[in-house]
Structure 1
Amino acid sequence: MTDLVLSEICDGVAILTLNRPEKLNALNYALIDRLLAVLDTVEVDHSIGAVILTGAGEKAFSSGADIHEFSTSVALGVDAALRDFVMRGQRLTARLEAFRKPVIAAVNGLAFGGGCEITEAVPLAIASERALFAKPEINLAMPPTFGGTQRLARLAGRKRALELLLTGERFTPRRALELGLVNKVVPHGDLRSAALELAGRILRHSQLATASILTAVTRGINQSIAEGLLVEAEQFARMAPTSDLREGLDAWIGRRQPSYSGSWSRAADTSEAARASPRGDR
């Protein structure tokens, strides 16, 4: 059986490829479940510091949900459609959004519906000049269901998001860049190298600090500033006892390149000591 998600490791970066090119990489239930399983494996692999997500073939990143499978769920009733389609898709986009390693979407073609929602959910995205985006769910008399009514408005603003959501019209990668949906647009042949280059710029730094920043931004963006600042302080407190922070400071003072261990061990030891202290002293 063809693997629905191809996996390749390149210099500490996992390149994951949605692999249903004959269906324009449409998101059926099996593909979503497989991608979630691969992400679970990648997350605990300490040799991997970042993820690039792209689509197989020359036409599509992902054309969205598999409509034939969705139609079958709808025919079974609202409960089945919610359970099998909506919740599964929302679980995937939430997983990508909250992943503690940077995920870069390399949008190589069509990114319609669920494919666009994946692009909205991941923290970083680079689009090929051949990419094409759309929020076409209204053409099926339904709203987006993988987070598209929520994340696009936060990225692009309410009015610009609603124009796309209520018309279903396609938009270019340059428009996606203007809306904040992607970080960069590159020639099609440069897409992989551009994604790897961005990942490499991130991987020079502490993976622990990267995870803390991703967590602080993802958790804080949907809260008030005051609540977000508490999340930020919490993430600093988690980093403060680590060898990575000490190494970063020592390297800066010594005017040398840091060498990070990426270990939480000192933080864990400090937390254990605090719990063991009768007064919780630090």
Structure 2
Amino acid sequence: MNRKEETTAPVIPPWDSFVAIGDSFTEGMTDALEDGSDDPLYVGWADRLAMELSRRRIAANLAPLKYANLAVRGKLIGQVNREQLDTAIAMKPALMSIIAGGNDMIRPGSSADKVAALLEEMVVKVRSQGIEVLLCAHYAPRHSPVLGLARPTVAIFNSNLWSIARRHGCYVMDQWGLRSLNDTSILAPDRLHLTGEGHQIMMNAALEALGQPVVDADYQARAPVGKDRFAASENVTWVKDHLWPWVKRHSRGRSSGDGRSPKYPQLVPVTDDFLE
């Protein structure tokens, strides 16, 4: 789909540092920097956001944005709280994104209220240090009869999230409301993660949430007709190749993030050679 550049003059980002915490969504799966690798470095919306904010700062003759990304795929919100939050706070960033709970809510019997309650505890802790917070209203897929079972849980979580944001003065990017995410062509084969185009959409959503001009003016465009569903045969293949292996792995207490470390564990300046 065509992407039109926003013509509005950039607003100078007020944040000199940004730390992202969370799970695979913030790690950037499956927006690979290079194709063909068995273990690629993922770019993702958070890296793209850091690069765009830094470009705007540099253009205004300010120091480059400093950035860290502690997110690790497969993490539950309790793990993000225990393993990432205090480390992120210790970096004393101006801005922190806290996006977690998606892995909790796709598990049968999960409580959206409990996930939201822990999120609020995390937000309170961060805001007490004067750090601004970016949250995300989660997306519940309409394209899958299986994953779609989580929609009521996600809806309850999102209702809580908007209230948390209001109470504590947080920014929110609205993934739930993005009609462009209903386009199946921007989904990875596992249907849980986004391609590079999907992460570009989310980067624009983050910019808008932060009060910054977007890069792609049509990033919210509705999915093309016929692109919002998979064929029955594709659903059968997905169950065999992705859903069943996921069920088996988690039934054995294993996670895709086991043994993995964050890709950017310390604040680094985001310059033109950041991803080289």
| TM-score greater than 0.5 by the shorter chain | no
Structure 1 length-normalised TM: 0.27
Structure 2 length-normalised TM: 0.27
The structure having more radius of gyration, on CA atoms, is 1
Greater helix content: 1
